[in-house]
Amino acid sequence: MKQKLNILFAASEVAGFAKTGGLADVAAALPKALKKLGHEIKVVMPRYYKIDKEKLTKLQEPLGVSMGNLGELWAAVYTTKLPKSDVDIYFIDHEGFFGRGGLYEDDSGAYSDNDIRFIFFSKATLQLCKLLHFTPDIIHANDWHTAALPLLQKTRFVHDFANAASVLTIHNLQHQGNFEKHIVDAMEVGWEHFNSYELESYHRVNLLKGGIAHADAVTTVSKKYAQEIQTHEFGFGLERHIQAHEERVYGILNGVDYYEWSPSIDDYIAQKYSSKNMDGKQVCKRDIQKYFGLQERDDVAVIGFVGRFAEQKGIELIAGSLHGILDMDVQVVMLGTGEKWAEEYFSKVSYQRPNFALHVGYSDELAHKIEAGSDLFLMPSLFEPCGLNQIYSLAYGTLPIVRATGGLDDTIINFDEHHHEGNGFKFFEASQEALYHTVVWAVRTFYENSEAFKQMQQRAMNSHFGWDDAAKEYIDIYQYILEKKHS
């Protein structure tokens, strides 16, 4: 087995170019970490309308992609480097499919041709390898958008990539790529694969199901989530299918980019600080109090939230317990956007309660300021494949209040005042009452056990969840499945 691997990494979004969620963060960070370990990697994504092609280099040759009964479709290819790296990233440019305002949807909902768009992208990704004379050892697909790759590699492209092994990473099982069955023709994989063990689900095609069936390894973005997706509560209908392939399912916790999220070097925050000298955290607290027009107090517990106003994120739990929380001597600041009822409700509360402040929308700078200036951070997710904000919070000495699910359970150790352990506060039941009582516990600790609270902050800031560790785990899996394939 050769040491240096050729890795093809396909994703529908990459941070720095287009992002809607955590997938983009992984697609930007993991390839850099793999490259640092000495491997050759090429990242491929669509060239959406928002990505300025004037800043990219165009390849001279166009790309022809056979789409079955739709005929041969053509794309241009652009390239550049991932920011702050020497990793090559390529963009599949097709105006009809990707020259739109959104990535997957617009104000009217999901694009009706998402099936054809991403089958085309998956096929184009493999065609690009042939164009570049790049022979991957590993084909790494991500979520439903590229979940067709393992099956395509074993069927339509088997003569080109017979020696490659495939990995499918599930970032969020809720989104599976369910479409009408006619796309089997466009995939050109043969109708024999339209069965209940591979692509078929309730007489439709489920792309993620097919990817799970054919990938040589399936990874999730935390160890706990790898277990949870095999249960009825978190499996979204695929739990028995995943159980059938459990010997190929692995959990690898996402890392975070500490060059981006570290209070000792963060240019967004009012004053830098570290675990050895946390004086700057008080300056950051005053900074967000001033920004939001809250009473400027060092001695009040500030609770932050940054995220989508979505059911998955436990936004209904926050809404239902918010007035009770605000009856305590606390200040709550929220940054986010999402479901309209939530935006309207929290806006109304911001006018009613002087110790609550809201910014509807998203600001990277403000997200950093809230992480630095808060004492506690809310993440009551109903499910959370990995979660990044709780890890950012640890780095900033802002103790997370989380529901014990997925990556939140993997990264947060519940406070134990008797043994002086823990880096946050956890609850288990997805209820308003459980969230409320856990916030009460955390706030009481802040006021009545300040020494233990400070020790927890320092433990949190000294913990490490970097991409270097995660990348080594991926390499171990890559090499294992290659050895197994060629043994």
Residue range 324-383, pLDDT digits in tens:
999 999 999 999 998 999 999 999 999 999 999 999 998 889 999 999 999 999 999 999
Whole-number pLDDT of residue 487: 83
Per-residue pLDDT tens for 255-281?
988 888 999 999 999 999 999 999 999
What counts of helices (H) and strands (E) characterise the chain?
Answer: 17, 21
pLDDT of residue 72: 96
User: 3-state DSSP call for residue 29?
Assistant: helix
Q: What is the spatial distance between Cα 294 and Cα 321, in angstroms, rounded to a whole number?
A: 21
| Ramachandran area for residue 188 (φ above 0: left; ψ -120 to 50: alpha; else beta) | left
If phi > 0 it is left, if psi is from -120 to 50 it is alpha, else beta; for residue 202 that is: left
Residues contacting residue 59 through CB under 8 Å, at least 6 positions apart: 76, 77, 78, 79, 131
Q: What is the mean pLDDT of residues 2-27?
A: 91
pLDDT of residue 418: 87
Whether the CB-CB separation of 252 and 221 falls below 8 Å is answered with yes
**pLDDT digit string (tens) for 194-236?**
999 999 999 999 999 999 999 999 999 999 999 999 999 999 9
User: Which pLDDT does position 186 carry in this prediction?
Assistant: 95
- Name the nearest CA neighbour of 406 among 233, 237, 235, 222: 222
Which band of pLDDT confidence, cut at 50, 70 and 90, is reported for residue 486?
confident
Segment 52-77 shows an average pLDDT of 95
Q: What is the predicted pLDDT for the residue at 2?
A: 54
Which pLDDT tens digit goes with each residue over 138-159?
999 999 999 999 999 999 999 9
Strands (E), 310-427: 330-338, 356-360, 376-379, 399-403, 425-427
Q: Which DSSP symbol is given to 414?
A: B
End-to-end CA distance of the chain: 10
Task: State yes or no: pLDDT of 1 exceeds 80.
Answer: no
- pLDDT of 193 over the 50 cut: yes
**Looking at residue 260, what is its pLDDT?**
86
Mapped onto helix, strand or coil, the DSSP state of residue 35 is helix
Chain segment 90-142, per-residue pLDDT in tens:
999 999 999 998 999 988 889 999 999 999 999 999 999 999 999 999 999 99
- pTM score above 0.75: yes
The reported pLDDT for the residue numbered 241 is 97
Query: Residue 21: pLDDT band by 50, 70, 90 thresholds?
Result: confident
Q: What average pLDDT does the chain have?
A: 95
Please give the pLDDT value at position 433.
97
